[in-house]
């Protein structure tokens, strides 16, 4: 009798993980792993291969400027006003909180051309750019997920893919924490 109990115990030990794995992948049990991120993952990622804007100093920015650095890309639906400049300011502060990883992060705020936009003070890797409003919304902005592209902040990885999004009302502390975690654990850039 003792041998039979031992054999049943061995089968139970080996079959329990198989049964649990089968249940987790079945329709009877919906298993959603918890995440610690504050932003929404963009699935599938969106490649910004058509990205092109002009900054307030007349310099052209394209996808090559986004590579090799993590980029906080904020898109504004309206021409840049005080609210847009304020957004650029707090994103710049978010970047500054990254300490030793500071040089691995770009901040780029993009809005339609306002014609009278005053350039913010020039800072390393903090850029205010615009697209020509007369030509409508650019094709790269139309590719952004769920048609929520405007008035949203995105996190772009060092190869030019949009991987995370933050709605306009997102808590900057959550963005800071996500960025810190990504910069600490990623090896995707060389900066």
pLDDT tens-digit map of 168-179: 888 888 999 999
Same domain, yes or no, for 87 and 152?
yes
The predicted structure's pLDDT at residue 57: 78
Same domain, yes or no, for 156 and 102?
yes
- Any idea how long the chain is? 191
In a domain, 191, yes or no: no
The answer to whether 157 and 91 have CB atoms below 8 angstroms apart is no
Sheet with 70-75, side-by-side order of all strands: 40-47, 161-167, 152-156, 70-75, 105-112, 126-131, 52-55, 60-62
Q: In this model, does residue 188 exceed pLDDT 50?
A: yes
The predicted structure's pLDDT at residue 191: 47
Same domain, yes or no, for 16 and 100?
no
The answer to whether 141 and 77 have CB atoms below 8 angstroms apart is no
For the entire predicted model, the pTM comes to: 0.75
pLDDT digits 0-9 by tens, 142-170: 788 755 556 788 999 999 899 999 988 88
**What residues have CB less than 8 Å from 47, skipping those under 6 apart?**
160, 161, 162
Q: What is the CATH number of the domain that holds 175?
A: 3.40.30.10
Q: Which domain holds residue 23?
A: 1-33
- Verify cis geometry, omega within 30 degrees of 0, for the bond prior to 54: no
Same domain, yes or no, for 16 and 73?
no
pLDDT digits 0-9 by tens, 4-53: 899 999 999 999 999 888 887 777 766 666 777 888 888 888 888 888 88
- In sequence order, the β-bridge partners of residue 127 are 108
The predicted structure's pLDDT at residue 148: 57
Same domain, yes or no, for 94 and 58?
yes
Give buried/exposed letters for 71-104 (b at 16+ CB in 10 A, else e): bbbbbbeeebeeebeebbeebbebbeebeebeeb
Q: In this model, does residue 124 exceed pLDDT 70?
A: no
pLDDT digits 0-9 by tens, 62-71: 888 888 889 9
pLDDT digits 0-9 by tens, 72-121: 998 887 777 777 778 888 888 888 888 888 889 988 888 887 555 555 55
Number of C-alpha atoms within 13 angstroms, CB side, residue 163? 14
Number of C-alpha atoms within 13 angstroms, CB side, residue 59? 9
Residue that is written with structure tokens 């924490």 in the block:
177
Through-space distance between the first and last CA atoms of the chain, rounded to whole angstroms: 67
């Amino acid at each position: 009798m003792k041998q039979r109990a031992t054999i049943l115990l061995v089968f139970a030990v080996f079959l329990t993980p198989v049964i649990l794995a089968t249940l987790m992948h079945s329709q009877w049990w919906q298993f959603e792993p918890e995440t610690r991120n504050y932003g929404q993952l963009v699935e599938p990622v969106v490649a910004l291969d058509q990205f092109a804007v002009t900054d307030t100093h007349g310099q052209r920015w394209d996808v090559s400027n986004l590579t090799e650095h993590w980029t906080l890309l904020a898109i504004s639906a309206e021409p840049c006003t005080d609210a847009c400049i304020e957004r650029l300011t707090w994103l710049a502060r978010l970047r500054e909180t990254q300490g030793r990883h500071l040089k691995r992060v770009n901040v780029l705020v993009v809005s339609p051309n306002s014609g009278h936009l005053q350039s913010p003070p020039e800072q390393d890797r903090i850029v205010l750019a615009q697209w020509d409003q007369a030509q409508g919304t650019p094709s790269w902005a139309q590719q952004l997920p769920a048609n929520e592209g405007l008035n949203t902040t995105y996190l772009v990885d060092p190869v030019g893919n949009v991987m995370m999004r933050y709605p306009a009302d997102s808590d900057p502390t959550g963005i800071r924490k996500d960025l810190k975690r990504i910069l600490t654990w990623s090896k995707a850039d060389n900066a």
